[in-house]
Structure 1
Amino acid sequence: MGEPFYITTAISYPNGKPHIGHAYEAIAADVIARFQRAMGRDVRFQTGTDEHGLKMMQKARDLGITPKQLSDEMSSHFIAMCDELNVSYDVFLRTTEDRHHAASQELWRRLEANGDLYLDRYEGWYSVRDEAFYDESELVAGERGEKLSPQGTPVEWTVEESWFFRLSKYTEPLLQLYNGQPQFIQPDGRRNEVMRFVEGGLRDLSVSRTSFDWGVKVPGSDGHVMYVWVDALTNYLTGLGFPDENGDFARYWPANLHLIGKDIVRFHAVYWPAILMSAGLAVPAQVFGHGFLLNRGQKESKSLGNVTDPLELAERFGVDPLRYFLMREVAFGQDGSYSPEAIVTRCNAELANSYGNLVQRVLSMIFKNMHGELEAFPSIAADDALLAMVFAACREELPCAFAELNFSGGIDAWMRAVFACNAYVDEQAPWTLRKTDPDRMKAVLLTLFMAIRDLTIAISPVVPSSAAKVLDQIGIPLEERGFPALTDADWFMARVATGEKLGQPTPAFPRLELPEDATAA
């Protein structure tokens, strides 16, 4: 069993169906999880839904159903999204589960035992949509002069009894964490924002509500439910069996990576580590706040009528092309944009025309001109140079970039190797060699066969279904599809020794067509 690697997404708030932002984060986390598995790590991948809070209660009331009925219905859509997009989660955690209530209450007791909770009266600005309290200095003016949160959401003045967490006590410990572990918050721009916020001094945090009852009950305090962020953040512990600190918890905690949207970095990089410190638990290794995915450069909203159902995109273009586009097109950590035209253009140019066509041409020629047979062959300098270049891209450049969550950079290195293979085909012209030098033709095709195997293993975390289809066609065993297999110098001769023949290949990366209803940007 390999070294443990625990990755989580933010848990989604299910007061509406999944949108493209939810899909983007889930896909990115899945690529990371699959990559780490392929590197030999023992991966634990958790996602889920955050089902408590005032928004859920209000939405259920508007629909004439109970909050539990609403959460049951809506969480099923998020599970379906993950399954449809081939997201290989190990745990899908719902905060309405009994085990989560038990974990949250135990965490609360630890904060209380450490003297970090006290009862007081809260008066201040609260955003129902953000489930967040804001200081007066953080508010911005709306178009009509109304007060809005930094996220542009409405706020209302709230007065109620509340339990408070002594967040102010953790100002210096948090700054020591950020300075001692610069990788704790990434990218650097997010780290700088958080440090400026904490350096400005922290106020104690309201962590319970009495104005609604849809949430985890505060132990020993009738009428109080936990403020949704304390409840929600605890999910990362719940999924490992907390408060039992043996078993999965002992193996996988602290988390290697909390992958979240940039709009909730403060909760994960300030409140969460402070809560963990108070409870005597280790803090995660890294919090990474990715950017937003924009629709033709605009943030999606119901009022603009540009909200995209990610499952409709997957149905139109295919799951793997959508996954490839999102990881290739957007510099991870920054905002990015998508459109049907961009998806079709990118995937046709790279997946279909460059890589897919390479695979189909080479395997077809081996099937047609070599009866699908693999054999030992003498190589020349051009063959060795190509395989060395492909190896470097697949075993060194792409893994190094992916380990740093630089997906577009890693895929760029992979594409350069694909282009090199296509240039090699054109230079060697195996269709001409078939008549003039059949033995050399075989060497060229088998060199490309070896390159295709490496390229396909490397891109598997991004396009798992399509890559598996290619690896099945070329007879690579399931246990030899990880990155360590790329260093096996004897794999080709072992494949030859089986005596198996390649069959007629079927295309794994068909060209995409632009939907008729898509309009130019």
Structure 2
Amino acid sequence: ETFFREGEVKDGRCPNPECRKPVRWIEEENYFFRLSAYGDRLLKYIEEHPDFLGPEFRKNEVVSFIKAGLRDTCITRDAYGWGIPVPGDPSQVIYVWFDALLNYLTVAGYLQNEDEFAQIWPADLQLMAKDIFVRFHSTLWPAMLMGLGVELPKKVFAHGFWTIEGEKISKSKGNAISPIKLAEEIAAMSGADVDIAVDAIRYFILREVTFGLDGDFSVSGLIGRFNADLANDLGNLLNRTLPLLHNYREGIIPTPGPVSHDAQEIINLVTSTGAEVAEYLDKLQFGDALAAIWTVIGRANKYMEDQAPWKLAKDEACAAELNTVLYTVLETVRSVAILISPFMPSAAEAIWEQLGIDSPLTEAKWEDAGSWGGLLPGTQTHAPRPIFPRIDTKRRAEAPAAEKEKKMEQKAEEAPQYLTFDDFKKTELKVGKILTAERVPGADKLLKLTVDVGEEEPRQVVAGIAQWYSPDELVGKQVVVVANLAPAKIRGVESRGMLLAADTEGRAVLLTPDADVAPGAEVR
């Protein structure tokens, strides 16, 4: 929950445009963190450490937020039987966000294992969603660390949100996509391994949108990237060269002949790209890093076209030149495997394995990507197998029709089953009067009620309405109770009945008679 001041609430509803649920007034005595004392220190730190917050436009939001004036932050709540107690004051529990931020230190060993903490902290990078960046992670969190005298993270960065074909991802809309199921679908359509399909999704997400901005996801966009970038560009480079190597050199990496001008251009590009990509990664510019790698791939593909090794193989006098072309392209592929490994680990491993390199890819150093000659002549490569087979768009076009037919069949099976009047009469509805109400320990949504339904003894009923009703406002209230519901235990508490409530904009509103009636009166 969140506390708002009176001036922030205009119409009795949460000012967050994505929430807009009704708010209710409460009064509590709580502890506060004097956040207002840290405004100048935060601004000075941000100015002196220009890379501390990112992306840049989010940093500007933080600076504006601080300059507008920081308010002291309420860091405890009244204890209702759950939450982390405030030391020395059992009437209070720690506010969830204050506790959540401190967990970063706890898991790093703060005040528990100082040696471990010194190795882990300060964090090189903390990532979080844009909606919890300004107020919590870029203002409250660094101020808390300043108060503790603990070094701040080196970088705090906000990522954006994804939409699905222009719409917000929502359970109610049913448009959420399971990444695993999507990978399985891509694998089925292409013939690629599932882990390769997972890599393809990772590639799309990191390449399609500048990291830190919002992005729109579409399966058609993913397939377009899969076929163009992965199958045509990267896959084609390996798929064209390895078969030639097996046809003309028995799959063995040859000793290159004299280096031509074009080959030297490739070498120069490869040896400089590793450092360029590393710089982009340090700045979290993943799309730019991948673009730089694909520049190498595109240049190598053009080199293949220009040199036409399939023609060189027909002339024995061009044997040395053929060796140079085959080696240049496959050595480029080796470098590319290292460069893509942070983004597509499974694909990189598959490439490494096909090249026949004995040492595992995990032992390769980043600098190896820019060190020409790592692919040793005499290495026996493995039989070529497409890593990124093209997705047959025709086959994909047929899939929605089959899926639509399946959904229609499912819809027919799920046709509404009407209740007969005789069945309805079996439900016993009575007016009840709430005598007592209290929270269920350890359950923030449940209240334990004692309800008079006109029987010798009042009933105990557990209701999930603690978010909308306080115990005090329920006592004496008349409600409608399902009286012949089988008893059930909820969080270890027996419940004998259920209250009827309407659901309006996500809020439960209890049904009550419009005049006082005796408890136990039958509802018809």
TM-score by length of 2: 0.69
Secondary structure at 2:89's aligned position in 1?
coil
2:336 alignment partner in structure 1: 455
Aligned to 1:202, what secondary structure does the other structure show? coil
> 1:149 touches 1:155 (CA, 8 Å); kept in 2?
no
Distance change in 2, residues 1:486/1:464 (3 Å): same
Q: Which amino acid aligns with 1:475?
A: G
Residue aligned with 2:158, SS: strand
Distance in structure 2 (CA, Å) of the matches to 1:461 and 1:140 = 48
- Which residue is equivalent to 2:290? 411
What secondary structure, in the 3-state scheme, does the structure 1 residue paired with 2:332 have?
helix
**Which residue matches 1:502?**
381
Counterpart of 2:48 (choices 157, 180, 189) is 180
Structure with higher Rg: it is 2
SS state at 2:27 partner: strand
Which structure 2 residues correspond to residues 353-502 of structure 1 after superposition, within 5 A? 353-378=232-257, 379-393=259-273, 395-436=274-315, 437-476=318-357, 477-478=359-360, 480-492=363-375, 495-496=376-377, 499-502=378-381
Distance 2:33 2:287 in 1: 40
Residue 111 of structure 2: aligned partner:
243
Please give the alpha-carbon distance, in whole angstroms, between the structure 1 residues aligned to 2:213 and 2:86.
Answer: 38
Mapped contact 1:138–1:150 kept (Cα < 8 A): no
Aligned mate of 1:163, from 8, 31, 38: 31
Query: Which secondary structure does the structure 2 equivalent of 1:510 belong to?
Result: coil
Inter-partner Cα distance in structure 2 for 1:321 and 1:200: 44
CA gap of 1:473–1:171, structure 2 versus 1, over 3 A, is same
Q: In structure 1, the residue corresponding to 2:85 is in which secondary structure?
A: coil
Aligned to 2:155: 286
2:180 is the alignment partner of 1:311: yes
Identify unmatched segments of 5+ residues in structure 1: 1-127
Which whole-Å deviations, capped at 9, do the CAs of 1:65-108 have from their partners, x for residues lacking one? xxxxxxxxxxxxxxxxxxxxxxxxxxxxxxxxxxxxxxxxxxxx
1:335 aligns with 2:214: yes
| Deviations 1:197-242 (CA, angstroms, capped at 9, x unpaired) | 1111111111112254433222221132211111111221122112
Q: Answer with 346-355 or 234-243: which moved more.
A: 234-243
> Judging changes above 3 Å, is the alpha-carbon distance between structure 1 residues 278 and 304 closer, same or farther for their aligned structure 2 residues?
same
Q: What's the CA shift for 1:261?
A: 0.8
1:447 is displaced (CA, Å) by: 0.7
* Aligned ranges 1:66-77 → 2 under 5 Å: none
Residue equivalent to 2:139: 270
- SS of residue in 1 equivalent to 2:57: helix
Could you say which residue in structure 1 is the equivalent of 2:86? 218
**1:170 and 1:223, CA in 2 relative to 1: closer, same or farther beyond 3 A?**
same
- Structure 2, unmatched stretches of 5+, are 187-196, 404-524
8 A Cα contact 2:267 2:372, kept in partner: no
Q: Secondary structure at the match of 2:154?
A: coil
In structure 2, do the counterparts of structure 1 residues 316 and 216 end up closer, same or farther at CA, with 3 Å as the change threshold?
Answer: farther
Residue 169 of structure 2 is aligned to residue 300 of structure 1: yes
SS at match of 2:100: helix
User: 1:320 aligns to what?
Assistant: 199
Matching residue of 2:491: none
Name the CA distance, whole Å, in 2 between partners of 1:453 and 1:409: 20
Where 1:348 maps in the other structure, the secondary structure is helix
Q: CA deviation at 1:291?
A: 1.0
- One-letter identity of the residue aligned with 1:392: S
| TM-score, L = length of structure 1 | 0.69
Range that drifts further, 242-251 or 404-413: 242-251
State the aligned residue count.
382
Letter in 2 for 1:391: T
Q: Give structure 1 regions of 4+ aligned residues with deviation exceeding 6 angstroms.
A: none
CA contact (8 A) 2:280 2:288 kept: yes
Q: Distance in 1 between matches of 2:365 and 2:269?
A: 19
- Secondary structure at the aligned position of 1:374 is classed as coil
Determine helix, strand or coil for the equivalent of 2:310: helix
Q: 1:380-420, CA deviations, whole angstroms, 9 ceiling, x for partnerless residues?
A: 11111112123323x13222212111111111111121111
Of residues 245-254 and 424-433 in structure 1, the stretch that sits farther from structure 2 once superposed is 245-254
Could you tell me which amino acid in structure 2 is paired with residue 208 of structure 1? T
Rounded Cα–Cα distance in structure 2 between residues aligned with 1:445 and 1:140: 71
SS of match in other structure, 1:331? coil
Cα distance in 2, alignment partners of residues 512 and 233 from structure 1: 44
Note the C-alpha offset of 1:155. 5.3
Going from structure 1 to structure 2, the CA distance change for 1:356 and 1:328 (only over 3 Å counts) comes to same
8 Å CA contact retained: 1:160, 1:211: no
1:182 is paired with a residue whose SS is coil
Q: Secondary structure at the match of 1:435?
A: coil
Residues 453 and 199 (structure 1), Cα distance of their counterparts in 2 relative to 1, 3 Å cut:
same
Q: Deviations over 1:31-86 (max 9, x none)?
A: xxxxxxxxxxxxxxxxxxxxxxxxxxxxxxxxxxxxxxxxxxxxxxxxxxxxxxxx
Q: What one-letter code is carried by the residue in structure 1 that aligns with 2:104?
A: Y
Q: Give 1:233's aligned amino acid.
A: L
Structure 1 residue 302: deviation in Å?
Answer: 2.5
